[in-house]
Structure 1
Amino acid sequence: MAASVHGGRIGNLPAEANAFIGRGLELAEIAGLLGTSRLVTLTGPGGVGKSRLALRAAHAAKAGFRGGVWLVELSELRNPDLLTNAVAQATRLTEQTLRPLLEAVCEHLAGAPLLLVLDTCEHVLSECARVVRELLANVPELRVLATSRQALGVPGEQLLTVVPLPLGEHDDAVQLFAARAAAAVPSFALTEDNRARVAAVCTRLDGIPLALELAAVRLRSLPLERLLEGLDSRFDLLVSSARPRTARHQTLRTAIGWSHELCTPLERLLWARLSVFAGGWDVEAAEFVCHGGPLDPEQVFPLLVSLTEKSIVTRDVEGLVVRYRMLDTVRSFGAEWLAGLGEAAAVRRRHRDYFRWIARQGEAEWLGPGQRMWAERLTAEHANLRLAVEECLAAPEPETALELTGSLWFFWFACGFAEEGRGYLERALGRAPADGGPEHGLAVWAHRLVTVVPEDLEAAESVSAAYVWLAEERRLPVPALPLTGASLAVRGESARSAVLYGPGGQAPVGDGGAEFFQLMTLALQAYLLAGQAAFERCASVAERLRQDCAKRGEVWMRAWGDFFVALAGIGLGHADEAVASAREALTAKWRVHDRIGAAAVADLLVAAQAARGEDEPAARLMGISRHLWRTAGLPQLGRPDTTVFHREYERRLRASLGDARFTEAVREGGELGVEAAIGMALGGEGGSA
């Protein structure tokens, strides 16, 4: 199954922020190249419009790629080793696998024709080339459209050099400037009287789209004539003092530099300090990271608004969440200015410390009513968390990296980033002495936790030992933690799992990780009781888990309580109640982005639907569950030969429906988009979840 169906839509392309102007010949050439070549790379200098052209071309190509069109934005990626993770995340593959991730990505993308857009490759060029070679070799129907200041150098690569816009009075540069000017100043209109001056501005800016857009915004404070005069005088001054560069690069830097000169001193200072963020930021983060010296925290927001009005910063709104970001070229200018001020190291440390604080807050509040908010917030801050981790790993003291990577256990484990978390935790632990303090214990425990998958019993045993260590370090009571038994139960070895499961003991309190394990112990106890067919006892333990979670306002572990109530209901013959509880569990797991949990609940719904005699819907749900396991990076758990569950229900449903009807129903479920599949599992007809 290809990645085509993820999210209930064909890919993940964002909507275009404004009208696309010109580039008709380039768009036609890209379409032709994608029809004959598997790798097309758009090259050209910064600011020339490569990313926007690729996005427009990708939108135009959607109809030809049944497997979807998927955008992987690499500008915020600082560590080349995480490039495969970025591809996995963009294409909705959860990183919960001990297999090589690139192997899992290749399997995930295979199937239908698919277009992968890799945007801004030049700073991770070697790794891009390696990953693209592997993908093209192992995913036969894949096409790649890349943007980069340099060619990737992969065999078969076709290059298209993106040049500035044509400069005549009736050409694209003038049309782009006029469109952006009208957006900035609604009263502006391109007329025969001002067309020549607009063309002169465009010529002065060499037709570079980013330079044109920055200049168009200045019409809010300057008439067109003054704008042209200012360009002439400022450019002459800045060009004469700048170090040698290509003419077009010089023009773009001069345009940005001119915008910089027109900012107030505090606006320039904020611009420079904002350059430490990756992927965006909110107001709280900007106030913490960027204040200091002449810039008070309460001044940050109005200055941020002013930079937005000048198009130095862009503002994104999704629901009630407002975030800000900068284009790469503008960010780079700010970073150079920050280095010149001698503040780069200090501001990076404040950035690091802010996100250490965010991680600690998230851990403390994860098992509470803000759980969904934290899942979404930290997912939005993923690029900044990566930067903070890298800064910690570069620090001379190893404790900061141990603390940050360990505090994020809930993010790695519950939000689908286990593979990335494992890598960071291994790097942090590799720098620290083995007899470290509480931070070391926390990181060891977190590493064992994100390494637990059903095919790894040794990891399941070691996470129990790691938690005992952590609890002792924090002077907490130590509960029995039967993860080994749970792993055996998944395999259908109920008798052996029962031997390994011991008494619960007193659950620890007063710590985010400790509370988590208090709840997990109940969940695992319910799991093992169900495996022994002790369904009434299972239901009782699961109900206790639900109540403990309800007291905290917690939803992620509460969903496991719903899961085991449903599982016990099936065993006791209460199919209707089982379906209702399983749907509650699925709703919660989906809201906090837990794809592994959603796949497990989909399995349970197969059994619940079958118990109600709804065999064809149950077979469709089996196709859905197999697809969800694939998106979680654990396709083997969706195969009928892997677990007792799948073997048993495959046999039952085939016998009831017949081979042909069963196979068709499973196929139909597996080809639904994920959102549509979740909607169907929740009782709809394949609508949006």
Structure 2
Amino acid sequence: MAASVRNGRAGNLPAEANTFIGRQSELADISRLLGTARLVTLTGPGGVGKSRLALRAALAAREAFTGGGWLVELSELRNPDLLTNAVAQATRLTEQTLLPLLEALCEHLAGAPPLLLLDTCEHVLDECARLVLELLGRVPELRVLATSRQPLGVPGEHLLTVAPLPLGERDDAVALFAARATAAVPSFALTDANRASVAAVCARLDGIPLALELAAVRLRGLPLDRLLEGLDSRFDLLVSPARPRLARHQTLRTAIGWSHELCSPLERLLWARLSVFAGGWDVEAAEFVCHGGPLDAEDILGLLASLTEKSIVTREDDGAAVRYRMLDTVRSFGAEWLDGLGEADAVRRRHRDYFRWTARQGEAEWLGPGQRMWAERLSAEHANLRLAMEECLAASEPETALELAGTLWYFWFACGFAEEGRGYLERALRRAHTLGPEHTLAIWTHRLVTVVPDDLDAAESVSAAYVWLAEERHLPVPALPLTGASLAVRGESARSAVLYGSAPQWPGAGGGAEFFQLLTLAVQAYLLASQGAFERCAAVAERLRADCAKRGELWMRAWGDFFVSLSGIGLGRPDEALRTGREALAAKWRVHDQLGAAAVTDLLVAAQACRGEPELAAQLLGVSRRLWYAAGLPRLGNSETTVFRREYVRRLRAALGQARFAEAVREGHELGPDAAVTLALGGLPQQP
């Protein structure tokens, strides 16, 4: 059984893509250092294998870190101001929080000891140093393993320089080349007859793992002796005498440059243009961004396949979705060529415009059957959306930044990136000089994604008033969880529409206008529930559900399910409340809405308590607490700070006794997220 971990999760460390070769002494050194040092940084040139070694070490050490092992890949990060957001996202802390994000991150990491793996720090070195210093100072249990081409310079940092692989005929460099060559050409085998030639290839490439892997794939088209000759004749290719480089950097550049030389002219052009992507891309994005001149869009799929065969590009299959990416060192080489071609600005603009179009498409289709697909697609494109936002902010026309930041309201609000969206919106609004539809959209979106203490205080006042109402009417449950609903129906403009029958003019023809109509119904249901008018609340919620069902929409419909379930509790119909509450939770979980999942789980606590299931209700109370924490609003999961929790703690403790109540809450609290949702949906959770 895997170790029990903080938040019931083992972290996000990925499985290794292929066999790990060698590095046993380095792994032993890292293991020893992590036992005594709080920050260990692996340094060395690009391509020497720092990232792979760090991942292997983290996987080997994860049993000791019951708070989980968390990989934060920084090579895609272009804006250093988003470093904290990147760490929060990687560690599954959503950004819907009242706390400053750094403070919320420290709380999130506190508890059982976690291991944070910060990979590729050199381009955001100063920001990494500041963040690591803050985290280590505030989270005593934390250990950090970093990879960087230079030290972070943080007090207490322990450095381990990663050298190239040993070069003897029986050493690791030969073993790595042979393993990768066999993977590329199954008929290849390392024998006594060819071992010396393989060792010579490895020596030409200084035992640098990336260079060895790029060379090994060349065996698909060249015999080993021709491969060796090619390295001999091209050893100094692309090394500028005016810009001397370290020998290892020269060797890596030689290996990449030789791969470049073996590409066709169109493959080289595509390689250069693909370098504008942050993270990965799909075929559609590559066709739009990279076509032009001699490169036709219809040729790009075939060229991608060829670059994949040459190990310049890696292909990632995730079910029906196919994405591509490049190693950061390979990407940097392509970017230099793109600059040399004089195309960098034009291709970056096409990248920006493609993701502006993608955001508009997502908005238009968000309230429809493709909602889950869009949530997953935009999450996969997060790094590219950030890059497009930065391009818009750097453009001379501020309207482009207002438009993109505002158009992404559904991504910021529903997919857990409120803090990041708020930051982009504020930057865009500061640059705006004139009023217009883009400005109106950005203002509305900023209000939508901004949660302030007054929101929680107002919701708590409603919940407290309901306690009094429940006692007066002898309702079966002393408090209803309205706080989550109040957060879901944010927006003064929507509240104004409900109270005064007016609605602002929506800028543009996207999905925001439809969302506003649905949001108005949700606000009506919330206000009716807060007044105890549950029959009317259920009627409005049914209308909301029906309107969403016409569109095939999940996320907003789940709030309709929420209010139907809430009304069922208020009307003494717990079975109905349980059924619709579970429908709401299943939908929220499918679109990655952790805030919504936490709010719905509060409802399920009430429903199970009403049904006479105090033990399950107590377990769900622990689940709810964990989900509120994961959603970045730990205050709402604290047993002492909300009316809802105070009342249920009292009632369930009385029903179960203190010992069993505490144990049941702990059981729910320690479940992993999928197991917790399985329990809430009526299944048997798998233990972590």
TM-score, normalised via structure 1 length: 0.92
Matches for 1:402-481 after TM superposition, within 5 Å: 402-433=402-433, 435-453=434-452, 455-456=454-455
Q: Deviations over 1:447-481 (max 9, x none)?
A: 11100356448999xxxxxxxxxxxxxxxxxxxxx
In structure 1, what is the equivalent of residue 288 of structure 2? 288
Distance 2:606 2:263 in 1: 64
Secondary structure of the 1:315 match is: strand
Residue 140 of structure 1: CA displacement?
1.2
Query: Which is further off, 234-243 or 145-154?
Result: 234-243
Secondary structure of the 1:117 match is: strand
Secondary structure of the 2:679 match is: helix
Residue identity opposite 1:280 in structure 2:
G
In structure 2, what is the equivalent of residue 602 of structure 1? 601
Residue 5 of structure 1: CA displacement?
4.5
Distance 2:126 2:484 in 1: 42
Matches for 1:210-221 after TM superposition, within 5 Å: 210-221=210-221
Is the 8 Å Cα contact of residues 496 and 503 (structure 2) preserved in structure 1? no
Distance 1:662 1:422 in 2: 40
Is the 8 Å Cα contact of residues 484 and 595 (structure 2) preserved in structure 1? no
In structure 1, what is the equivalent of residue 578 of structure 2? 579
Distance 1:132 1:86 in 2: 13
The answer to whether residue 681 in structure 2 is matched with residue 685 in structure 1 is: no
Residue 581 of structure 1: CA displacement?
0.6
Residue 659 of structure 1: CA displacement?
2.2
Residue 652 of structure 1: CA displacement?
1.4
Residue identity opposite 1:538 in structure 2:
C
Distance 1:498 1:305 in 2: 53
Matches for 1:519-538 after TM superposition, within 5 Å: 519-538=518-537
Residue identity opposite 1:347 in structure 2:
V
Residue 643 of structure 1: CA displacement?
2.7
Residue 525 of structure 1: CA displacement?
1.0
Alignment CA distance shift 1:295-1:242 (3 Å):
farther
Secondary structure of the 1:502 match is: helix
Residue identity opposite 2:677 in structure 1:
I
Alignment CA distance shift 1:635-1:56 (3 Å):
same
Distance 1:503 1:238 in 2: 70
Q: Deviations over 1:168-193 (max 9, x none)?
A: 00000000000000000000000000
Residue 4 of structure 1: CA displacement?
3.9
In structure 2, what is the equivalent of residue 551 of structure 1? 550
Q: Deviations over 1:163-217 (max 9, x none)?
A: 0000000000000000000000000000000000000000000000000000000
Is the 8 Å Cα contact of residues 11 and 68 (structure 1) preserved in structure 2? yes
In structure 2, what is the equivalent of residue 647 of structure 1? 646
Distance 1:632 1:498 in 2: 24
Alignment CA distance shift 1:194-1:41 (3 Å):
same
Secondary structure of the 1:597 match is: helix
In structure 2, what is the equivalent of residue 32 of structure 1? 32
Is the 8 Å Cα contact of residues 530 and 538 (structure 1) preserved in structure 2? yes
Distance 1:56 1:71 in 2: 12
Query: Which is further off, 515-524 or 44-53?
Result: 515-524
Q: Deviations over 1:72-125 (max 9, x none)?
A: 000000111101001100110010113210100000110001101000000001
Residue identity opposite 2:547 in structure 1:
D
Residue 241 of structure 1: CA displacement?
5.9
In structure 2, what is the equivalent of residue 636 of structure 1? 635
Residue 504 of structure 1: CA displacement?
4.7
Residue identity opposite 1:548 in structure 2:
D
Q: Deviations over 1:193-245 (max 9, x none)?
A: 00000000000000000000000000000000000001101114544767310
Residue identity opposite 2:258 in structure 1:
W
Secondary structure of the 2:322 match is: strand
In structure 2, what is the equivalent of residue 620 of structure 1? 619
Distance 1:416 1:595 in 2: 7
Q: Deviations over 1:321-362 (max 9, x none)?
A: 110000000000000000000000000000000000000000
Alignment CA distance shift 1:576-1:410 (3 Å):
same
Is the 8 Å Cα contact of residues 455 and 486 (structure 2) preserved in structure 1? no
In structure 1, what is the equivalent of residue 52 of structure 2? 52
Distance 2:154 2:35 in 1: 18
Is the 8 Å Cα contact of residues 454 and 487 (structure 1) preserved in structure 2? no
Residue 529 of structure 1: CA displacement?
1.0
Distance 1:498 1:353 in 2: 34
**In percent, how many aligned pairs have the same letter?**
79
In structure 2, what is the equivalent of residue 656 of structure 1? 655
In structure 2, what is the equivalent of residue 672 of structure 1? 671
Distance 1:226 1:162 in 2: 30
Is the 8 Å Cα contact of residues 96 and 451 (structure 2) preserved in structure 1? no
In structure 2, what is the equivalent of residue 380 of structure 1? 380
Is the 8 Å Cα contact of residues 236 and 250 (structure 2) preserved in structure 1? no
Distance 1:453 1:518 in 2: 23
Matches for 1:84-483 after TM superposition, within 5 Å: 84-239=84-239, 243-433=243-433, 435-453=434-452, 455-456=454-455
Is the 8 Å Cα contact of residues 84 and 101 (structure 1) preserved in structure 2? yes
Is the 8 Å Cα contact of residues 496 and 502 (structure 2) preserved in structure 1? no
Is the 8 Å Cα contact of residues 626 and 638 (structure 1) preserved in structure 2? yes
Residue identity opposite 2:293 in structure 1:
G
In structure 2, what is the equivalent of residue 568 of structure 1? 567
Residue 675 of structure 1: CA displacement?
1.2
Is the 8 Å Cα contact of residues 3 and 108 (structure 1) preserved in structure 2? no
Distance 1:614 1:137 in 2: 43
Is the 8 Å Cα contact of residues 5 and 672 (structure 1) preserved in structure 2? no
Distance 1:317 1:505 in 2: 48
Distance 1:31 1:259 in 2: 36
Distance 1:585 1:489 in 2: 12
Residue 499 of structure 1: CA displacement?
12
Residue identity opposite 1:539 in structure 2:
A
Residue 505 of structure 1: CA displacement?
5.5
Query: Which is further off, 120-129 or 655-664?
Result: 655-664
**Alignment RMSD, CA only?**
2.2
Is the 8 Å Cα contact of residues 483 and 599 (structure 2) preserved in structure 1? no
Q: Deviations over 1:271-310 (max 9, x none)?
A: 0000000010000000000000000000111000000000
Residue identity opposite 2:406 in structure 1:
G
Distance 1:366 1:157 in 2: 46
Residue identity opposite 2:257 in structure 1:
G
Alignment CA distance shift 1:533-1:3 (3 Å):
farther
In structure 1, what is the equivalent of residue 587 of structure 2? 588
Residue 14 of structure 1: CA displacement?
0.9
Residue identity opposite 2:514 in structure 1:
E
The answer to whether residue 499 in structure 2 is matched with residue 502 in structure 1 is: yes
Alignment CA distance shift 1:538-1:382 (3 Å):
same
Q: Deviations over 1:380-439 (max 9, x none)?
A: 000000000000000011000000000000000000000000000000000002x41100
How many residue pairs match? The answer is 656
Residue identity opposite 1:546 in structure 2:
R
Is the 8 Å Cα contact of residues 498 and 520 (structure 2) preserved in structure 1? no
Residue identity opposite 1:195 in structure 2:
R
Is the 8 Å Cα contact of residues 448 and 459 (structure 1) preserved in structure 2? no
Residue identity opposite 1:519 in structure 2:
L
Distance 1:83 1:20 in 2: 29
Distance 1:590 1:324 in 2: 27
Residue identity opposite 1:105 in structure 2:
L
Distance 2:510 2:361 in 1: 12
Residue identity opposite 2:515 in structure 1:
F
Residue 641 of structure 1: CA displacement?
3.1
Is the 8 Å Cα contact of residues 4 and 66 (structure 2) preserved in structure 1? no
Structure 2 unaligned spans of 5+: 460-481, 488-493
Alignment CA distance shift 1:619-1:198 (3 Å):
same
Alignment CA distance shift 1:240-1:157 (3 Å):
closer
Alignment CA distance shift 1:222-1:572 (3 Å):
same
Residue identity opposite 1:502 in structure 2:
L
